[in-house]
Amino acid sequence: MTNENAQAAQGNVEPMYEYGYRKSNYGPDELVTDAHGNPISVIDAMLSAEEAGQATTVTPHLCYYSPRIPGNTGSAIRLCAVTGTILHLVEPLGFNLHDTKLRRAGLDYHDMAHVVLHPNFENLVESMPNSRIIAFTAHATKLYTEVEYKPTDILLFGPEPGDIPDPMDIMAGPHVAEQVRLPMRPSLRSLNLTNCASIAIYEAWRQLGFDGGE
């Protein structure tokens, strides 16, 4: 390819793509469409709390309580899309759902039908009364591998580390059936939130025979 042709090809790509992904301003609600390819809003594409509570799943549900970093939630959307997991986001969120970093991290996996937005934690508990909540916290003594997971379980993760302390009323409240942790070398801070969630979801899915996977 000549330099002129290469420059022309690059010029065709740049208007749509940025850093290898679609630009944040390319199309409404980037890649969120109905069955006919027509753009729809992010909120309209989500499951309701009632729909999520009645859904049949092959992996436990994943819950982020008050997530603050959009890239982590974007990566979680991608994780949930490829594993068939439903992601529950409990407000307040530390970002707007239209955040560029969230959409970029999710790439083309923004099947928002895997996502539920709850106004508060009580709404999650009330919408899934028969589910066991398993909280992942560094304060636990039991390892995450010592639990026999069920598709109806909710794997609960708290906010990313920051100035706000962990909400122990959520992570250790009466609604929590189990507290578990991921092992780490001593004196190290923590794993990335969605790295932790990925480890947990894949362990649970492994126990369940990778049902629905290939």
Residues annotated as binding site? 158, 182, 190
End-to-end CA distance of the chain: 39
Residue 78's H or E segment, with its range, is helix 70-83
If 0-12 CB within 10 Å is exposed, 13-18 middle and 19+ buried, where does residue 78 land? buried
Please give the sequence-ordered ranges of beta strands (E in DSSP) within 5-114, or none if there are none: 17-18, 21-22, 61-65, 87-90
The binding site for S-adenosyl-L-methionine consists of 158, 182, 190
Other beta carbons within 10 angstroms of residue 117's beta carbon come to: 19
Question: 115: which strand partners?
Answer: 87
Count the residues in the chain: 214
H-only helix segments in 87-183: 100-106, 121-127, 168-171
The CA distance from 212 to 138, in Å, is 31
